[in-house]
Amino acid sequence: MRSLVGGRTLLEEQPKLTVRSEALREGRIRQGRSPNPMKVGVVTVADIPKDSDFIKAGDARLVIFTTPQTSISQVEQLRALGVEVFVNDSARVDLRKMMRTLKKIGVDHLMVEGGGTINFELMRLGLVDELLIYVSPMIFGGANAPTPADGFGLPREDAMQTKLTDAERWDDGGVLLKYKFL
């Protein structure tokens, strides 16, 4: 499984996207895979610090999709750090083209750990086949709390249809819901 994050998550949170369990990392190595899954970032302007956890944490293949708004020197710096950089030729990354490119480089399954903006765009474009939602046994948030789908939204008559395929009750009191898109 490969992990993808959007620009805000990539730049503001600098996620590690690594396998935390030593046993699972060792298992991946025994299977002939890298200790961590491929990390994929989608960002309009890839001003990613070279000491970012996304780049430095864990041994993993790194892929960034960006636009010409990222300076040539920044693209070269990322490439010098071992990052595969794909520069889209438009003002925003073409997510359909990104998915085709990922398929060409061997990605068959992708877990999106992004925020509501990238989530919504991928769903809106029909690029998501399964949605996992964890319902926490805690109440928190507010008007600015993150949601699974941000952006301009859709009117009810245009809602994306899903079907619940599984529900798991977790020991911590939370519930993991699995939906397939119809």
- Strand partners of residue 41: 5, 64
* 38-77 residue pLDDT tens: 999 999 999 999 999 999 998 899 999 999 999 999 999 9
Residue 153 has pLDDT above 80, yes or no: no
Q: Give the 3-state secondary structure percentages of the chain, helix then strand then coil, rounded to 5.
A: 30, 25, 50
Domains and CATH numbers, the chain: 2-181 (3.40.430.10)
What pLDDT sits at residue 14? 86
Q: Which is nearest to 127 in space by CA: 153, 109, 115?
A: 109
> Helix, strand or coil for residue 121?
helix
